[in-house]
Structure 1
Amino acid sequence: MSAPERIPPRSVTLTDAAAAELLAHGELTVRGRIREASNAALFCTVAYDGREASCIYKPVAGERPLWDFPDGTLAGREVAAYQVSEATGWGLVPPTVLREGPYGEGMCQLWIDVLAEAELLALTDGEEPEPGWKAIGLAEVGEGRTALLVHADDERLRRMAVLDAVINNADRKGGHLLPAADGRLYGIDHGVTFHVDDKLRTLLWGWAGEPLTPEAVDALQGLREGLGGALGERLAALITRGEIDATRARVDALLTSGLHPEPGGEWPAIPWPPV
């Protein structure tokens, strides 16, 4: 028997059905644990039909209870975020499936190699962002000093901001943004999403109150249609009907206002730690 063909993770595109097939049906082998993760996150290889790739496996049994999300639901929310991302056509979330693994049912997501040189966040001493950057807010940098925290004025980040508003992402940290060597930008760690209450916490507030792009409006219109059809049916296996209805309401609100959302004031607007 020949050795499995090694597929570098970034070479399996989000539009390639083989990626999802590999994740869903391949044999998972645990190689180590990512200790920085708040829930159990296992680095694995997955092999199927002569192919192999790296992935992250998060078993439901390793999820820490949260006061505001039902126990055992984070893996399903991660997969739901991928389904919504795919429905926009933007491919912002790596291929993600729900499957059985060595430690029971869990989320399995393609590993993404990160382009270390990419700069999406920065601190500046000025009161206004430089051209090409958008202001997030002031940050304490020690010794009583503050600096302006900014993110890049990047169309990929702007798409991510729209996706986060739709899925009600409560934890969009800087470390959850993965610029890949192929030029794509991916978002990961979507376990705390789709809550029925407004819990949007993100670093991507730079476009708050600004008009949505025509591209975003088209994507939202497609989501509204999909939530009443095939997308809604797929999500029904992952999140509750009430959460699907709340997602549809957020899409409708974005289309009605035509604007990027602004912080609501009833919930911390920026996650901690931000990076």
Structure 2
Amino acid sequence: MSAPERIPPRSVTAAELLARGELTVRGRIREASNAALYCTVTHDGREAACVYKPVAGERPLWDFPDGTLAQREVAAYEVSEATGWGLVPPTVLRDGPYGEGMCQLWIEAASDDAELLALVDGEEPAPGWKAIGFAEVGAGRTALLVHADDERLRRLAVLDAVINNADRKGGHLLPAGRGRLYGIDHGVTFHVENKLRTLLWGWAGEPLTGEAVEVLKGLRETLRQGGELAVRLGGLITPDEVEATRARVEALLASGTHPEPTGEWPAIPWPPV
């Protein structure tokens, strides 16, 4: 599927189009675990493709409150925008043909972008790669799963630590060409308990970059009581979840390092890709 018109992903126009436009369902994204509908949205002579995930189509989860995944997706976008990194496509909460749901700009993955994940022989990654862990590849063989030592992925790893992403799979990474990379599917985020589960463990325990530290300091300010991001998140997630987000930012700044798996929760999502 391809977008009828490419709207600049971070522009105000894109968010307004998603929020105000007429939403028309074109098909269903079959591989999604919850109801995810491919749509077009039209407003004031502009049209773009988008994904609409109605709350009514969410499957219940044992560890997240029912009917909250759409709001969490929007909250992840709000945090992404606050970082200035623009890692999540424009995402809004709106009414649609099947009730309230998340509406996100469709991003067409670029086929010519650099490879981000790979399975390799050996016990150590080559230069330019970070080890994730060993995976069975059939016939009793294992291979080392690695991800690129890429600053875009490193930023996404920081974002995931802030929003407590419990499901960062390889299929949720969308290289969009021109050096852009987006992360999608943020429904299982912002839990008050530590549930970080990701493929991006390559920097675990390493010092945060200077850029990341400055971004986290900015998040700390806007997450204070009455801060712009705190207010925005307050309309999407619970007060306890907002407070837990503040605490994760403070913990990252206090440690100065990327988080490491705790062993209390599966570190890598399944299936990983």
TM range (shorter): over 0.9
Per-residue deviation, residues 116-165 of structure 1 (Å, max 9, x unmatched): 23310001102110011000001111111111000000000000000000
Aligned structure 1 segments of 4 or more residues deviating by more than 6 angstroms: none
Q: Tell me, in whole angstroms, the C-alpha distance in 2 between the residues paired with 1:183 and 1:132.
A: 17
Q: How many residues align?
A: 267
1:266 corresponds, among 241, 244, 264, to 264
Is structure 2 residue 54 aligned with structure 1 residue 59? yes
Q: Tell me, in whole angstroms, the C-alpha distance in 1 between the residues paired with 2:51 and 2:255.
A: 37
Per-residue deviation, residues 58-80 of structure 1 (Å, max 9, x unmatched): 00000000000000000000000
Match of 1:35 in 2: 30
In structure 1, what residue type is equivalent to 2:8? V
Per-residue deviation, residues 210-249 of structure 1 (Å, max 9, x unmatched): 0000000011001011111010000001000000000000
1:28 Cα deviation from its structure 2 partner: 0.3
1:120 corresponds, among 113, 116, 123, to 116
DSSP-derived class of the 1:180 partner: strand
Match of 2:241 in 1: 243
Q: Tell me, in whole angstroms, the C-alpha distance in 1 between the residues paired with 2:109 and 2:5.
A: 16
Match of 1:170 in 2: 166
| 8 A Cα contact 1:166 1:251, kept in partner | yes
| 8 A Cα contact 2:9 2:105, kept in partner | no
Query: Mind listing any 5+ residue stretches in structure 2 that lack a counterpart?
Result: none
Match of 2:85 in 1: 90
In structure 2, what residue type is equivalent to 1:154? D
1:181 Cα deviation from its structure 2 partner: 2.0
Q: Tell me, in whole angstroms, the C-alpha distance in 2 between the residues paired with 1:210 and 1:57.
A: 37
Is structure 2 residue 134 aligned with structure 1 residue 132? no
Is structure 2 residue 65 aligned with structure 1 residue 70? yes
DSSP-derived class of the 1:149 partner: strand
Query: Mind listing any 5+ residue stretches in structure 1 that lack a counterpart?
Result: 1-5
2:192 corresponds, among 179, 189, 196, to 196
1:213-232 correspondence runs (5 A): 213-228=209-224, 229-232=227-230
| 8 A Cα contact 1:171 1:202, kept in partner | yes
| 8 A Cα contact 1:24 1:97, kept in partner | yes
- Normalising by structure 1, we get a TM-score of 0.96
Q: Tell me, in whole angstroms, the C-alpha distance in 1 between the residues paired with 2:255 and 2:77.
A: 25
1:159 corresponds, among 141, 155, 159, to 155
In structure 2, what residue type is equivalent to 1:67? W
Once superposed, what is the RMSD of the aligned Cα atoms?
0.7
| 8 A Cα contact 2:112 2:177, kept in partner | no
| 8 A Cα contact 2:201 2:260, kept in partner | yes
In structure 1, what residue type is equivalent to 2:149? D
| 8 A Cα contact 1:113 1:181, kept in partner | no
| 8 A Cα contact 2:166 2:195, kept in partner | yes
Is structure 2 residue 108 aligned with structure 1 residue 107? no
1:182 Cα deviation from its structure 2 partner: 2.7
1:202 Cα deviation from its structure 2 partner: 0.1
DSSP-derived class of the 1:265 partner: coil
Q: Tell me, in whole angstroms, the C-alpha distance in 1 between the residues paired with 2:30 and 2:137.
A: 26
- Normalising by structure 2, we get a TM-score of 0.97
| 8 A Cα contact 1:173 1:202, kept in partner | yes
